[in-house]
Amino acid sequence: MGIPQTIAEMSRALHGGQVSSVELTRALLERVQRSQPALNAFVTVTAEEALAEAAAADRRLAAGERGPLLGVPMAHKDIFCTRDVLTTCGSRMLANFVAPYDATAVARLRAAGMVMLGKLNMDEFAMGSSNETSHFGPVANPWDLKRVPGGSSGGSAAAVAARLVPGATATDTGGSIRQPAALCGVTGLKPTYGRVSRYGMIAFASSLDQGGVITLTAEDSALMLSAMAGYDERDSTSVDMPVPDYAAGLERPLAGLRIGLLKEFFDKGLDPAIEAPLRAAIAELQAQGATLHEVSLPNLPLSVPTYYVVAPAECSSNLARFDGVRFGYRCENPRDLKDLYERSRGEGFGAEVKRRIMTGTYVLSAGYYDAYYLKAQRVRQLIANDFARAFAQVDLLVGPTTPTVAFELGVKDDNPVTMYLNDIYTIGANLAGLPALSLPCGFAHGLPAGMQFIGPQFSEERLLNVAHRYQRVTDWHLRAPPGYAS
């Protein structure tokens, strides 16, 4: 038999005895090895450790243990600390950093029995929209190796799309789960802020960062999120409330569902080739009983400038710890302490990270704090208020995930603002701390197009339900890039 594609399929095969975890792991490791020169999706491959974990999972299965993730292979975005394994954050600054502990999300998936194949490439410190800022080189989109996979979780999206792993962890600060998921034709879920612990997840912008998952299906996202989510006393932003069984509500009918069509997302910046399949996907939801209502969020167009004040400000603070003294890259033969700081940071950070640190330091400086940072926080609240008013009328919002399909590698290197605008439809959910999900809804110009759902806080169960019901009657999420099918 061929290798099962999804987490749910792999789980059924493992529990039914059709395949062992060691066999699955070995087969996927071979795929990783074959694909790495072209895709560059992995920073580190932990083959020996993975086979040992798989053997342990097989023993648990043989002893009668049951669990939807037990023995299923996966990989982690290289922003999550993994005990005794390199954790680079895609940066020269951490190119030799071996984490002494597991992030909470890692520990919970490990406890559930998932088998880690390695660490996935990413934009440096999660700063980027194309996975081109990584110290370890860009990731290629498996649908077209000359195009970007999106960022910052490009390695996660590319690995899942190429069937190297059925699921991967990822993080989303301004769209870094949903945007690459859309560009690679897979499913990406950003949970509510505080739903998944940030302990052991290297910080970019602490009030925006949120861990999540990239998978082939909404069902698989539900299975992984159920294991990852929940309160963690080590994370002060973690929310103490029960975690539902996300998979249990997937089959709920859509009759009576009120969907808000985001007026601001269907503007002149949206490629008509993406709008066409998106409209068809919305019509399918209506055919299942959902009703459509146009909704306006007047302050949403301000989300990009607001984000690019708040996020760099927080990044300049978070990355101050990387000074060449305690851990991370250290320059050679520093003349004095000032030289140590300057050269360690100058040589350890890449251009995009330096740009955001400088921007953040500027907006926080005396004389500019009120004019920029404080004003951005006020606009952020206005955006959150717009969402709250919308959810008084509808159950969830729908729109495109990205304005265009995947662009070619290198075409936006010289214009950071153009690159930043690629996240124009995703940033609002982060500023308001809302859950959001991207799933494939068709193709435009021969490349995947994504549809995005945004819901009220802690409505992940409903977002997954709607996505699953759509995926039951379509197969966009199961279409593999040429040469990467099972």
191 and 340 inside one domain: no
Q: Is 335 part of a structural domain of the chain?
A: yes
- Count of domains forming the chain: 2
Q: Report pLDDT for 7.
A: 98
Residue 201 has what DSSP assignment? Answer: B
* Assigned token pair, 70: 């037990």
**Nearest CA among 109, 108, 139 for reference residue 121:** 139
How far, in Å, CA of 381 to CA of 379, rounded? 5
23 and 90 inside one domain: yes
* Assigned token pair, 96: 């030799």
Task: Tell me the average pLDDT of the chain.
Answer: 96
What is the 3-class SS of 226-261, one letter each residue? Answer: HHHCCCCCCCCCCCCCCCCCHHHHCCCCCCCCEEEE
Q: Is 325 part of a structural domain of the chain?
A: yes
How far, in Å, CA of 185 to CA of 480, rounded? 8
216 and 323 inside one domain: no
Please enumerate in sequence order all residues whose Cβ is within 8 A of that of 421, keeping only pairs 6 or more positions apart, or say none: 269, 304, 403
Domain boundary among 334, 354, 379: 379
Q: Is the Cβ–Cβ distance between 116 and 165 less than 8 Å?
A: no
Neighbours of 233 (CB within 10 A): 10
38 and 62 inside one domain: yes
Which residues are part of the catalytic machinery? 77, 152, 176
Q: Is the Cβ–Cβ distance between 218 and 481 less than 8 Å?
A: no
457 and 417 inside one domain: yes
Please enumerate in sequence order all residues whose Cβ is within 8 A of that of 56, keeping only pairs 6 or more positions apart, or say none: none
Q: Is the Cβ–Cβ distance between 257 and 398 less than 8 Å?
A: no
33 and 176 inside one domain: yes
Mean pLDDT, 10 residues at a time, the chain of 486 residues: 90 97 98 97 98 98 97 98 98 96 98 98 96 97 97 97 98 97 98 98 96 98 98 97 96 97 88 96 98 95 94 95 92 96 96 95 90 95 97 97 95 79 92 98 98 98 98 97 83
Residue 367 belongs to what domain range? Answer: 303-379
Q: Report pLDDT for 427.
A: 97
214 and 325 inside one domain: no
Please enumerate in sequence order all residues whose Cβ is within 8 A of that of 63, keeping only pairs 6 or more positions apart, or say none: none
How far, in Å, CA of 365 to CA of 442, rounded? 46
334 and 442 inside one domain: no
One-character DSSP codes across 118-177: EEE--SGGG--SSS-S-TT-PPPBTTBTTB---SSSHHHHHHHHTTS-SEEEEEESSSTT
189 and 58 inside one domain: yes
Give the CATH number for residue 22: 3.90.1300.10
**Nearest CA among 209, 212, 206 for reference residue 227:** 212
Q: Is 310 part of a structural domain of the chain?
A: yes
Domain boundary among 317, 349, 379: 379
Q: Is 279 part of a structural domain of the chain?
A: no
* Peptide bond before residue 152 is cis, with ω within 30 degrees of 0: yes
356 and 414 inside one domain: no
How far, in Å, CA of 113 to CA of 405, rounded? 36
Q: Is 283 part of a structural domain of the chain?
A: no
Q: Is 353 part of a structural domain of the chain?
A: yes
How far, in Å, CA of 381 to CA of 155, rounded? 32
Q: Report pLDDT for 413.
A: 77
185 and 55 inside one domain: yes
424 and 363 inside one domain: no
174-185 residue pLDDT tens: 999 999 999 999
Q: Is 136 part of a structural domain of the chain?
A: yes
Q: Is 180 part of a structural domain of the chain?
A: yes
Tokens 């996979």 label which residue? Answer: 149
Domain boundary among 348, 379, 410: 379
213-235 residue pLDDT tens: 999 999 999 999 999 999 999 99
